[in-house]
A and B are shown apart, each in its own frame.
Chain A
Amino acid sequence: MEWRFDAGGAIYAQMVERIKEAIASGAMAPGARVPAVRELAIDAGVNPNTAQRALAELEREGLIYAVRTSGRFVTEDEGAIETVRRELARGHAESFITAMAALGYSGAELEAFLKNYIREKEEE
């Protein structure tokens, strides 16, 4: 995974977000092994306690689970994966709508624009 961090906001929270994206998109498959703390810290170039905190948060949210002695794995609970996928989609929709509203698009105009845009893309 390529790691890039925004200046503001806690790094562990940004790592949680990136790993959620990987789980929701299937880049990290259900049941796949999650890198160990040290491995993740080296890969992302972050403090090991930060990497630990990110994994603990994902565990708390039920998206990964620990197996004694063999490490952590991505959840196989499809419902949980679908929930996080929707949660992330809502976030993207929210920022899209906010950006479009700033340009004066809203409601029906926004919807028409989007339908049109999708049709154009499909014809390409």
Chain B
Amino acid sequence: MAVLTCRGLTKKFGSTVALDGVDMTVEPGRIVGLLGPNGSGKTTLIKLANGLLTPGAGEILIDGKKPGVETKKIVSYLPERSCLPDWMTAGELMGFYRDFYADFDRDAAAGMLSRLSIEEKQKIKHMSKGTREKVQLIMVMARRAGLYLLDEPIGGVDPAARDYILNTIISSYNPSASVIISTHLIADVEKVLDDVIFISCGKIMLAAPAEDIREQRGKSVDEVFREVFKC
């Protein structure tokens, strides 16, 4: 069964149409890139999948269920903006995640932190921006979730941190889980993607396996994106 299904999914904010009749499915074991310019509806779609917004029309289902308490148990969400309680230490943060999520793998998280030489007694507010982004990603990827929703995971970090984040996504890969990465930094993520969804003005412009796009068009996904969204 599909991990995520959208049928005629529509969301308006006043007279602005953020999502306009989106139909899509995400199968287990896929890493999907939700690619579009700023304001195309990427974050709205992710917030709908998390139950932070409710659809105006149509539906969105996670594992066949409407977003709610049950789906939050299997959805691991990395928001666009950092939401870490910054008075905590890294160790306390792991305890916090374990209290909230039964699927949180503390050993995996501790291992990833120690490989970055982040000590458990270090306070989050004393960490650099790049380190905080990595810590947040580690918390999200250390859950044994069925669906990871990563909203702009590589925006605003340096290229080395980007590589670290993408490597963490690859090494956390699990064939029964899916990952959705929303971004406009296509050249950086395209090698990591199974499937590509181009979104513009709330509509899906193209949905295809990344390898098919490169093979059939003889161009990178980044180049095709620049053509499709040429200003």
Question: CB-nearest residue of chain B relative to A8?
Answer: B218
Is B193 in contact with chain A by the CB < 8 A criterion?
yes
Q: Are A47 and B191 neighbours in the complex by a CB distance under 8 Å?
A: yes
Whole-angstrom CA separation of A47 from B222 in the bound complex: 16
Q: Are B223 and A38 neighbours in the complex by a CB distance under 8 Å?
A: no
Q: Are B223 and A48 neighbours in the complex by a CB distance under 8 Å?
A: no
Is A103 in contact with chain B by the CB < 8 A criterion?
no
Interface-side segment among B61-69, B93-101, B128-136, B163-171: B163-171
Contacts of A11 in B (CB 8 A): 191, 211, 214
Is A34 in contact with chain B by the CB < 8 A criterion?
no
Q: Are B220 and A7 neighbours in the complex by a CB distance under 8 Å?
A: yes
Q: Are B170 and A41 neighbours in the complex by a CB distance under 8 Å?
A: yes
Q: Mark B210-223, 1 if CB is under 8 A from A, else 0.
A: 11001101111011
How many chain A residues touch B (CB < 8 A): the figure is 19
Contact residues of B between 68 and 92, Cβ < 8 Å to A: none
Is A96 in contact with chain B by the CB < 8 A criterion?
no
Whole-angstrom CA separation of A45 from B168 in the bound complex: 10
Distance (Å) between the CB of B108 and the closest chain A CB?
14
Seen from chain B, the residues whose Cβ lies within 8 Å of a Cβ on chain A are: 29-31, 163, 166-167, 170-171, 173, 191-194, 210-211, 214-215, 217-220, 222-223
Seen from chain A, the residues whose Cβ lies within 8 Å of a Cβ on chain B are: 5, 7-13, 38, 41-42, 44-50, 53
Instruction: Pull 16 A–B residue pairs with CB atoms less than 8 Å apart, ordered by A.
Output: A5-B191, A7-B222, A8-B214, A8-B218, A8-B219, A10-B214, A41-B170, A41-B173, A45-B192, A47-B31, A47-B193, A47-B210, A48-B170, A48-B173, A49-B31, A50-B191
